[in-house]
Amino acid sequence: MKTSLTHQLWTFPGGIHPPERKDLSNQVAIATLPLSSVYRVPIKQHSGAAGPIIVSPGDKVLRGQPLTAAELPGQLPVHAPTSGTIAKIGPGRVAHPSGLPDTLIEINADGADQRQTLEPIGDYQAFSAADLITRITAAGIAGLGGAGFPTAQKLNQQRPLEALIINGVECEPYITADDRLMREHALDICRGTMILLHIVNCERAILAIEDNKPEAVASFTAVLNEFPAIELRVIPTKYPSGGEKQLIQILTGRQVPSRGLPIDLGFLMQNVGTAYAVARAVEHGEVLDQRVVTVTGENVDKPGNYWVRLGTPVADLLAHTGFRAEPQQRVIMGGPMMGFTLPDLTVPIVKISNCVLVPSTQELEPAQTEMPCIRCGACADVCPAQLLPQQLQWLAKAKDYDGLEQQNLFDCIECGACAYVCPSEIPLVHYYRKAKAEVRTIAREKAQAEVARQRFEARKERLEREKQERLERHRQAAEARKKAQAEAQQQGAPNPQDAVQAAIARAKARKAALAAAKAKQEDDSSA
């Protein structure tokens, strides 16, 4: 098992080499975005459930103050990005391709930017893993690479690790947020990595960087001799090398099983941005209230990377960077391969927003009309998960969900390589996402139906039981009555049956007397 992590590098099947366009935004140092007047903080910014809201409109908050609590596993708090007043809490548009509203906390900034921090932890080695994980949860850290999985939950596993992998690959074109962070904050990333190693009780960390980022590699080589536990691996540039499963295959030559996790092979992966956030949270007590966002594309004057507070409206970010909208301008959150077009510019930057791309029409063509599949097979050649994209596409269109599962639809990482090479301009990933959502809906409905069936049957049983109990009660009451009577009789009380007989006899006697009287009357009148 140990032999799999040598200096040798492997490769994964497929992959593409799209134009990188990274030099557009990686030339200048990370700048800080000036404060906005209004921040809109979505309460759910990670994959998992949102925590309960613990502030109310009108409350004064400080920068770094939690706005939601994390009570259950999978919940993460969100924090105020600056000091100010809670203006309102309610539904608003969030960074999601659906454009559907979600709960936002709107904060009017007071401009003072007063900050509250957690108690800095000086010597993290004196603290247990559980304490540090609590700190990482309290700081609201979610995986900053893209999926936004709660970091604490990922660290909170009990299986032994072969190595921790720190992902600095950043393979998607245009995006340079991790690149700039690595160049400028290599030391903090290494310290964060050491903290993560301490938490997962592992001695080895592999830092992977693509060979198109020589400056980032240089800044790490300058500091890495202080950190013997961290090994640097420079991997060849290919999209999507930064995918979790793809990177593990490159570093070890082994494949993460279908529907499995890296931990099944003894690996855990964290993004460089996450390692940086962990270092800040532990050593400085800073919560995750800002991140590096790449603003790029030919329609901004000042492309580059910016420290952006979470909750900053995209419009403010673009206004600062000299955004020139052309007719039918698209604004893409994320990169050109995996990003999505924003419904409008009021949506806020969240923990997983690594890039805002404002392309010109020449730069990134708008979606073309879909043409029929010509079965060229180019998509299958580039699929990094070795799926059959055209097969999946047909099955998705035919809504053959069993077939899709057989073709391992859920191993698709939605990297978009197939759609990129498709000569017929078929939006393949869109079909897969739709099919995945439908499969999930069916599974959810099936689970709900099962619950409903159980509840229906439980109710039927309950009604039947209650009926039996009622009958039983009536029977017992009747028996008790009879018994009480018999006992009373034994003790000399008159038999109620006798009283009845007596009453009948009395009634009969009265009737007879009446009849006699009547007969007498008739006799008298006739006489």
Partner 1 sequence: MSLVTGLLVFAGLALIFGLILGFAAVRFKVESDPIVDQIDAILPQTQCGQCGYPGCRPYAEAIANGDEINKCPPGGEATIKKLADLMGVEAKPLDSAHGEESVKKVAVIREDECIGCTKCIQACPVDAILGAAKQMHTVIAHECTGCDLCVEPCPVDCIDMVPVTPKTETWQWDLQQIPVKVVES
Kindly list the residues in this chain that would bind partner 1 in the complex (CB under 8 A): 94, 96-100, 102, 325-331, 341-345, 430, 433-434, 437-438, 441, 444-445, 448-453, 455-460, 462
Q: Is 379 a known ligand-binding residue?
A: yes
Minimal distance in Å, beta carbon 455 to partner 1? 4
CB of 290 to partner 1, least distance (A): 23
332, 335, 338, 344: CA torsion to nearest 10: -10
Concatenating the DSSP letter of every residue in 485-509 gives HHHHHHTTPPPHHHHHHHHHHHHHH
Q: Which helix (H) or strand (E) holds 442?
A: helix 428-490
Q: Which is nearer to partner 1, 457 or 479 (CB)?
A: 457
The backbone torsions φ and ψ at residue 220, rounded to the nearest 5 degrees and listed phi first, read -75, -40
**DSSP state for residue 158 in the 8-state scheme:** -
Question: In whole angstroms, how close is the CB of 87 to partner 1 at the nearest point?
Answer: 22
* Nearest CB to partner 1, comparing residues 253 and 343: 343
Sign of the CA dihedral running 425, 426, 428, 429 = positive
DSSP-assigned letter for residue 511: H
For residue 500, with 0-12 CB atoms within 10 Å meaning exposed, 13-18 middle and 19 or more buried, which class applies?
A: exposed
- CA angle (353, 359, 365) in 5-degree steps: 120
Instruction: Give the amino acid at 185.
Output: H
Is residue 376 a known part of a binding site? yes
Selection from 369, 388, 368 nearest residue 378 by Cα = 388
DSSP 300: B
Residue 20 to residue 213: CA distance in whole angstroms: 11
CB of 429 to partner 1, least distance (A): 10
DSSP annotation of 63 reads B
The span from the CA of 278 to the CA of 263, in Å, is: 20
Question: Is 422 assigned to a binding site?
Answer: yes
**Which residue's CB is nearer to partner 1, number 103 or number 485?**
103
Nearer to partner 1, 460 or 467 (CB): 460
Calculated CA dihedral for residues 177, 13, 155, 275, nearest 10 degrees: -20
Q: How far is the CB of 340 from partner 1 (least distance, A)?
A: 9
Closest CB to partner 1 among residues 203, 466: 466
Distance CA 361, CA 347 (A): 22
C-beta of 450 vs 464, nearer to partner 1: 450
* Whether residue 359 has a cis bond before it, omega within 30° of 0: no
Closest to partner 1 by CB, 440 or 482: 440
In whole angstroms, the minimum distance from the beta carbon of 41 to partner 1 comes to: 16
Q: What H or E segment, with its residue span, contains residue 230? A: strand 230-235
| Residue 383 labelled as part of a binding site | yes
The distance of closest approach from Cβ of residue 449 to partner 1 in the complex, given in angstroms and rounded to an integer, is 4
| Residue whose CB is less far from partner 1, 24 or 429 | 429
CB of 333 to partner 1, least distance (A): 12
Q: 306 in helix, strand or coil? A: strand
Annotated binding site for [4Fe-4S] cluster: 373, 376, 379, 383, 412, 415, 418, 422
